[in-house]
């Protein structure tokens, strides 16, 4: 929402801004799912219930299915006009086509989205090491993408509370005590806030930016 607001303040197209932010969220989701599916065979032995094991491939299948629907939404809208009446989804489908159907755009975007999630895992592992919590980087790479996927659900503010519950269960699979998991999750959240403070200062002190050039949202070469 803040990103869209800032683009609007610069005179940008709000529809295009909303589409860009949503495509960014789609890329982040795909990066998470890539890591989850890569780690799936290594996480299976730590899951006691068959339902938990089935959930991992179901996440990948569901994500691919939703992504496929998104990619064809705009094309089917040509034959089913009611689909195109949902302007936000129509714009999102058009933006997704422009990014993910071009290898020169999609490969770097997906690579950066995946690397970004790996860096978050490195941050969490560094904090765990500093707190002397007995968990390795490999275990964090297996479970933290799942935790991040869970906190995407818009049921709490910025994932607070939900992340702590998910971390307690996920790290418990590798023998981490619940109080240690909650402490690690809280410090990770605080570290993120501290890391973002310089950006807030820049935002508050920056001069009014120059207007953005107009960019059409439709078929663009």
pLDDT in tens, 77-114: 666 666 666 677 888 888 888 888 888 888 999 999 99
**15 token code pair:** 């529809």
Give me the pLDDT at residue 76, please: 76
Instruction: Give the closest residue to 18 by CA, choosing from 90, 73, 88.
Output: 88
Tell me if 99 sits within 8 A of 105, measured CB to CB: yes
Give me the pLDDT at residue 221, please: 41
Q: At what angle do helices 14-43 and 87-100 cross, to 10 degrees?
A: 60
Give me the pLDDT at residue 214, please: 55
Give me the pLDDT at residue 206, please: 67
**Strand, helix or coil at 12?**
coil
Residues of the chain with pLDDT under 50: 219-221
Q: In this structure, which long-range contacts are made by residues 206-210, counting pairs with CB atoms below 8 Å and at least 24 apart in sequence?
A: 208/9, 209/9, 209/10, 210/10
Tokens 């299976």 label which residue? 44
Q: How far apart are CA 216 and CA 209, in angstroms?
A: 21
Give me the pLDDT at residue 220, please: 47
Give me the pLDDT at residue 210, please: 56
Is the entire prediction scored with pTM above 0.85? no
Instruction: Show the DSSP H helices in the chain as ranges.
Output: 2-9, 14-43, 50-77, 81-84, 87-100, 103-130, 137-151, 162-172, 178-205
């Amino acid at each position: 929402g803040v990103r869209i607001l800032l683009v609007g303040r610069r005179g940008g197209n709000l529809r295009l801004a909303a589409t860009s932010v949503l495509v960014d969220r789609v890329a982040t989701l795909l990066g998470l799912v890539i890591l989850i599916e890569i780690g799936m065979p290594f996480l299976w032995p730590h899951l006691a219930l068959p339902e938990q094991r089935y959930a991992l491939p179901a996440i990948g299948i569901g994500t691919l299915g939703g992504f496929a629907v998104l990619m064809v939404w705009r094309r089917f809208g040509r034959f089913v006009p009611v689909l195109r009446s949902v302007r936000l989804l129509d714009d999102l489908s058009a933006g997704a086509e422009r990014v993910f159907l071009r290898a020169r755009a999609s490969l770097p975007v997906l690579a950066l989205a995946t690397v970004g999630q790996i860096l978050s895992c490195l941050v969490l592992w560094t904090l765990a090491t500093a707190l002397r919590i007995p968990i390795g980087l490999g275990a964090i790479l297996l479970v933290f993408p799942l935790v991040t996927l869970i906190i995407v659900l818009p049921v709490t503010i910025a994932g607070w509370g939900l992340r702590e519950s998910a971390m307690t269960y996920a790290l418990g699979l590798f023998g981490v005590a619940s109080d240690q998991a909650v402490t690690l999750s809280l410090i990770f959240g605080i570290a993120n806030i501290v890391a973002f403070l310089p950006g807030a200062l820049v935002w508050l002190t920056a001069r009014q930016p120059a207007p953005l050039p107009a960019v059409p949202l439709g078929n663009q070469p």
